[in-house]
Amino acid sequence: MSEIAFYSPVPRSSNSKAKSKGNHSNDNDMDLDEMISSVAKNSSTSATLHVVTPGEVITTDSAYMRGHGTYVENEKVLSSVAGVVDRVNKLISVRPLHTRYNGEIGDVVVGRITEVAQKRWKVDLNSRSDAILMLSSVNLPGGVQRRKQESDELQMRNFFMEGDLVVAEVQSFFTDGAYSIHTRSLKYGKLRNGSFLEVAPALVQRCKSHFHSLACGVDLILGLNGYIWVSAHVPQNLDEIDTEQVYSNKNKEDITVQDREAIARVANCIRALAAEFIFINDTIISFAYEASLQHKLKDMTKKEIMHQIATEAVDAVENMKG
Amino acid sequence: MSRVELLSPEGLRIDGRRPAELRKITSTTAVLSQADGSAYLEHGNTKVLAAVYGPREARHRALVLHDRAIINVEFNVAPFSTGERRRRTKNDKRLLEMASFVKQTFEPVVVTTLYARSQIDIYLQIIQHDGGTLQACINAATMALIDAGIAMTDYVCACTAGWVEREAAIDLNHIEESSDTSEVTVAMLPKSGKITLMQMESRLHVDKLEEVLSLAGEGCKQMHVVMDKTIRDRAEDLAAKMAV
């Protein structure tokens, strides 16, 4: 016997949904929800992070669902990796902190072409297998709407060659778990005018934009797979891009020594932050850049200076937050 | 050659340990920046470096398994690691045998079905050899795999035990190993007590087997405590840094 209740539209609080569901759930369920929320509160504070190691029992309650990084044995949920426990309602997963990239659809990624195959490129994304970039999921030169032809299949190396770097977006998964990526937007495509570096994928968080232009005249692409592209600033007007130039292998001619130093400095700042395992975003990179200006560029590879830059950047972010 | 006295009348072993005493264990993870996971482990004077790469795109198309990952183990002994300096070829049958032991140990424990069509490479390097290489390799590989974030149902902890003169002894060193001692290496899942590897190359009287095995099992449990502490410290350290 279930009652249907109607609520007037009020500003949504976190509980309102649970209440309307509560009509056809028993009391036992409610207790469990409360328990989870109290656990969730605890885990959000840094002091009581729930860290588990392989084979450790996370919960003996069979009401929970097992997520990534867990397995079930004798109705207990156990961890299969070393990491932090994440709980979303009744789903328990364990997130390893130092691991390869696990993608989701819509992620902006930076990758390197490893192979040119039939109608497709293989791209290294730092994930468990190479991603696939189909010839049909790139913008061909000469008009965005142009269909692919047989002649395009024969000159695929003119678009992307082995070793080229691309920025792309995860489009879908194949049945075996491999990623299909696409560059069907003028934001995506071949990377030029800059330098590449690699950090742990866990350090790059999903956010609104992964394309940044820093005040120091440097463009930045933070790939969610931990691959980062730091390049000289190119003023972009998305309406007037010459589609022939998208696949060019030539860097722009007027990259000055100052530009090059700024690129190297930003890249070293990111390395310094990554070495301290600090989340990487445009704000903290800007602060790290400012902190690094008191050091010579060639000193920035020294361990103690990297540490100093990272701590100063973190302090600056804390100050900004208040 | 006069026989070395392996057990003193007081019941102490040649390096001063008691029969059921492990050597000093030192372990760290994440020692290599380029590898996905790595670990450095010392059992007394035996020193091992393990590096794990992957799961990554399989290099040999022919070997790819469509439903799970393949595990590839390479085992190497540095020329300077032993008493006599000796260069080994890559196809040395002893090295290949050791690699296949490690591979067989991990295949049932690593959840390979999560990583279809990919390959996990484990590289093991002996830097100093003082007995118990197989146990050190397995323990170091476990830690490197966990450091790489590869899913495993449990730790794999290995320990050797043998019959030294008149008593069962644990974690034999090179002198004890090389003087006709029967030695058993056991790799165990400490949570369930299941054994994934048991290896013995010499003869041991069946009456003594049980005592030796139970001692090795105890050693595995002690190893688990040490390894778990290192792994947990590292995970907590990273988690705390990311929480800032």
Instruction: Mark residue B180 as left, alpha or beta (left: phi above 0; alpha: psi -120 to 50; beta: remaining).
Output: left
> Per the domain annotation, does A189 fall within a domain?
no
> Per the domain annotation, does A90 fall within a domain?
yes
DSSP string, A61-81: -TTSEE-TTEEEETTEEEESS
> Per the domain annotation, does A297 fall within a domain?
no
Topology of domain B25-243, CATH: Ribosomal Protein S5; domain 2 (3.30.230)
> Per the domain annotation, does A36 fall within a domain?
yes
> Per the domain annotation, does A28 fall within a domain?
yes
The pLDDT tens digits for B210-238 are 999 999 999 999 999 999 999 999 999 99
Q: What is the pLDDT along chain A (322 residues), one digit of tens a residue?
A: 445 555 455 444 444 344 444 444 343 333 444 444 444 444 444 446 899 999 999 999 888 999 999 999 999 999 999 999 999 999 999 999 999 999 999 999 999 999 999 999 999 999 999 999 999 999 888 766 677 778 889 999 999 999 999 999 999 999 888 999 999 888 899 999 999 999 999 999 899 999 999 999 999 999 999 999 999 998 876 666 666 678 888 888 888 999 999 999 999 999 999 999 999 999 999 999 999 999 999 999 999 999 999 999 999 999 998 7
- Structural domains in chain A (count): 1
The Cα of B71 is separated from the nearest Cα of chain A by a number of Å equal to: 13
| Residue of A51, A280, A306 best to disrupt the B interface, most CBs of B under 10 A | A51
Tokens (6 digits) for A303: 């361990």
CB B127 within 8 A of CB B38: no
Interchain pair A55, B116: CB under 8 A: no
d(CA B58, CA B117): 7
> Per the domain annotation, does A73 fall within a domain?
yes
The structural domains of chain B, with segments of one domain joined by +, span 25-243
Using a CB–CB cut-off of 8 Å, the residues of A that contact B are: 46, 49, 51, 53-55, 69, 71, 73, 78, 80-84, 96-100, 114, 122, 124, 128-130, 176-178, 202-203, 276-279, 314
| Residue of A46, A70, A81 best to disrupt the B interface, most CBs of B under 10 A | A81
Q: What residues 140-169 of chain B have any CB closer than 8 A to a CB of chain A?
A: 146-155
> Per the domain annotation, does A142 fall within a domain?
no
d(CA B169, CA B171): 7
Contacts A128 to B, Cβ<8 Å: 54-56, 69, 115, 118
DSSP secondary structure code for residue B61 in this structure: G
Q: Which residues pair with A179 in a beta bridge?
A: A173
Contacts A277 to B, Cβ<8 Å: 238, 241-242
Tokens (6 digits) for A226: 């931990």
d(CA B47, CA B111): 28
Burial of B9 (0-12, 13-18, 19+ CB in 10 A): exposed
Work out the number of other CB atoms within 10 angstroms of the CB of residue B1.
4
> Per the domain annotation, does A219 fall within a domain?
no
Which among A204, A112, A221 has a CA at the least distance from the CA of A166? A112
Q: What is the CATH number of the domain that holds A75?
A: 2.40.50.100
Contacts B147 to A, Cβ<8 Å: 82, 98
Show the domain range for A87: 16-96
* Own/partner long-range contacts of A149-152 (Cβ < 8 Å, ≥24 apart): none
